[in-house]
C-alpha cells in the first residue's frame, strides 16, 4: 500500500483527522489485510469515516452541575463519593452538595471513568460549572449525534462503503443487542417514575427510546388504584367531616394595631440582650408570710410589685436608663419619674399600662395599682391616661411559661426587662452544701445605640441584689 497516497489526500481533509487516520492505517498495515475501496470511491470519504469512529473512543466530557431548583445558584460541595480512576454508571452517586435550603445528592449521567474532580470539599460550585471530568465508556447517543454531523458523501460512495464494510457494520449492530438506547434525561424520568426501560418500545432511530415513548407507556400503565381496586375496603370516608368554609380576613385594630405600629418601629433598634438568674428563696418566703394578710385586705399580692419596686430602686443608681430617645434630634431625655410599664394579656390582645411614680410608692401600694389595672384589662377598659407616659417596661412571661426570652423594646424607651417562671433547683449554700433554691431567670434588652452592655450588667446586678434581700424593699 502506498502511504504517500494517503498523505497527499490529507490536504483535502482536516489535519487532525488525517493524523488519526494515518496512525490507524500504519498501526494495522503490518498485521491486517486492508481492503481499499474501488477506484471510483474518494479516499477522503474513507478517511472521514475512520477518523470519526476513532475520535469517539474514550472521549472525556465535563459533568456539569445542573439547576437543582428553588432558585439555587450555588452550592457547597460537602462530600465526594468518587475519586479519579473510579468507574461510574448512570445514576451512581457522585457527590453531596449543600445549598442554603437543603442537601442534594448528585448522580452521574454517564457511564465511564472519573478523570478529575473540579472542586474540593467545602468549596463553592455554581450551577453550570463542571463538577467532574468523565471518560465515556460508550457514547451511544452522543456518538450517533456526532456521526450525523459529519460531512455527507454521495450515494455511490455510501453504496460502495456499505459493500466493503458490511461485515463490520453487522458486528456493530450485534453489539447493540440487549443495550437500551436512550438519553440520560429519559433515564432519569424512568427512574423517577419507576419504569423499566426494557419494557418500553422505542420508536426512535435504531429502537431508541424517546421521551414521548416513556410518557406514552406511563399513561397506558395501569395505576396502583386500578390494581388494588379489588382489595380496597368497601367503606368510604365520611365527606361530611371535611372542613368547609371561607377564609376569614381579620383587620388589625385596637391593641393589635398599636402593637403592629410599635413593633415595626422596634425593628430599627439594635437590641443588646443580657440574661441572668437570681435566688429569690427569701422573697418567696416573705411573700408566703404576708400573702394571707394581704388577701384579707382585698389585695392579691404577686411577685410583680417586688420586681417593679426593685427596678425603681436600681434606677436611682442608674438614672440614665429611665429615659426617652428622640431619634430626630439624636438626644436622650433622662426622666425623674419612674413610670414602670407592665405587659398584660387581655381579651383584645397585648396592652402595656404603667404604674406611675413608683419611686414614691411602697410594695403594697404598687400591688393595689396592679390589681386595678388588671381588672380594667379584663374588661378592655384601660383608659389612655394609664397607657401614656411609660419610662421603663417589665414583662412577666413566667405566668404563662418559659424562662429566658428576648424582650422587644417599646420606643421611645431604651430598656425593657422580662422575667421567667421561678424554678426550684439545687444550688450550693455558703457552706458548700447542696440546698433547694428558688431560682428566677431574667432577661434585659437595651437600645445599644445609647446603652452599653456594662451598664445593663451593673443595673441587673443591683436589681438582683434587692430581690435576694427583699427586706430592703419594704423598709420604707
Point out the residues that are catalytic: 448, 452
108 burial via Cβ count (<10 Å: 0-12, 13-18, 19+): buried
Percentage helix, strand, coil for the chain under 3-state DSSP, each rounded to 5:
40, 20, 40
d(CA 394, CA 407): 9
State yes or no: cis peptide before 164, omega within 30 of 0.
Answer: no
d(CA 54, CA 34): 17
182 burial via Cβ count (<10 Å: 0-12, 13-18, 19+): buried
User: What would the grid cell of residue 369 be?
Assistant: 395599682
Tell me which DSSP letter residue 336 carries.
S
Q: How does DSSP assign 344-401, residue by residue?
A: EEETTEEE--EETTGGG--HHHHHHHHHHHHHHHHTT---HHHHS---EEEEEGGGTS
Q: How does DSSP assign 27-55, residue by residue?
A: HHHTTS---PPPTTS-HHHHHHHHHHHHH
Comparing C-alpha atoms, which of 284, 320, 305, 278 is closest to residue 463?
278
> How do strand 344-346 and strand 349-351 relate by DSSP bridges?
antiparallel
Amino acid at each position: 500500500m502506498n502511504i504517500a497516497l494517503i498523505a497527499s489526500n490529507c490536504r483535502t481533509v482536516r489535519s487532525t483527522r488525517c493524523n488519526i487516520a494515518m496512525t490507524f492505517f500504519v498501526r494495522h498495515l503490518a498485521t491486517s489485510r486492508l481492503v481499499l475501496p474501488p477506484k471510483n470511491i474518494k479516499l477522503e470519504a474513507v478517511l472521514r469515516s475512520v477518523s470519526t469512529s476513532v475520535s469517539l473512543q474514550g472521549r472525556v466530557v465535563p459533568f456539569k452541575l445542573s439547576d437543582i431548583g428553588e432558585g439555587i445558584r450555588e452550592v457547597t460541595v460537602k462530600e465526594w463519593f468518587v475519586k479519579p480512576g473510579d468507574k461510574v454508571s448512570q445514576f451512581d452517586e457522585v457527590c453531596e452538595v449543600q445549598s442554603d435550603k437543603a442537601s442534594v445528592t448528585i448522580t452521574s449521567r454517564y457511564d465511564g471513568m472519573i478523570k478529575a474532580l473540579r472542586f474540593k470539599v467545602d468549596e463553592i460550585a455554581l450551577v453550570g460549572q463542571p463538577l467532574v471530568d468523565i471518560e465515556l465508556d460508550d457514547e451511544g447517543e452522543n456518538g450517533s449525534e456526532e456521526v450525523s454531523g459529519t460531512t455527507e458523501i454521495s450515494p455511490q460512495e455510501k453504496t460502495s462503503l456499505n459493500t466493503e464494510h458490511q461485515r463490520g457494520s453487522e458486528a456493530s449492530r450485534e453489539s447493540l443487542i440487549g443495550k437500551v438506547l436512550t438519553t440520560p434525561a429519559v433515564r432519569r424520568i424512568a427512574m423517577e417514575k419507576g419504569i423499566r426501560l426494557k419494557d418500553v418500545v422505542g420508536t426512535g432511530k435504531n429502537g431508541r427510546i424517546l421521551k414521548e415513548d416513556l410518557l406514552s407507556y406511563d399513561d397506558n400503565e395501569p395505576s396502583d388504584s386500578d390494581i388494588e381496586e379489588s382489595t380496597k375496603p368497601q367503606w368510604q370516608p365520611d365527606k361530611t367531616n371535611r372542613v368547609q368554609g371561607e377564609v376569614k380576613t381579620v383587620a388589625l385594630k385596637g391593641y393589635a394595631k398599636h402593637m403592629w405600629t410599635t413593633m415595626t418601629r422596634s425593628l430599627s433598634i439594635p437590641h443588646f440582650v443580657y440574661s441572668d438568674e437570681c435566688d429569690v428563696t427569701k422573697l418567696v418566703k416573705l411573700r408566703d408570710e404576708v400573702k394571707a394578710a394581704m388577701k384579707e385586705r382585698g389585695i392579691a399580692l404577686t411577685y410583680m410589685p417586688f420586681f417593679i419596686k426593685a427596678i425603681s430602686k436600681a434606677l436611682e443608681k442608674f438614672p440614665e436608663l429611665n429615659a426617652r430617645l428622640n431619634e430626630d434630634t439624636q438626644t436622650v431625655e433622662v426622666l425623674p419619674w419612674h413610670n414602670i410599664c407592665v405587659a398584660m394579656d387581655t381579651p383584645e390582645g397585648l396592652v402595656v399600662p404603667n404604674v406611675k411614680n413608683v419611686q414614691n410608692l411602697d410594695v403594697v401600694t404598687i400591688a393595689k395599682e396592679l390589681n386595678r389595672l388588671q381588672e380594667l384589662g379584663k374588661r378592655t377598659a384601660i383608659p389612655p391616661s394609664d397607657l401614656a407616659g411609660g419610662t421603663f417596661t417589665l414583662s412577666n412571661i413566667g405566668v404563662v411559661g418559659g424562662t429566658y426570652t428576648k424582650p422587644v423594646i417599646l420606643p421611645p424607651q431604651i430598656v425593657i426587662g422580662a422575667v421567667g417562671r421561678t424554678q426550684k433547683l439545687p444550688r450550693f449554700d455558703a457552706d458548700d452544701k447542696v440546698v433547694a433554691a428558688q431560682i428566677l431567670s431574667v432577661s434585659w434588652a437595651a437600645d445599644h445605640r445609647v446603652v452599653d452592655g456594662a451598664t445593663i450588667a451593673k443595673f441587673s446586678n443591683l436589681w438582683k441584689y434587692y430581690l435576694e434581700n427583699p427586706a430592703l424593699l419594704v423598709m420604707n
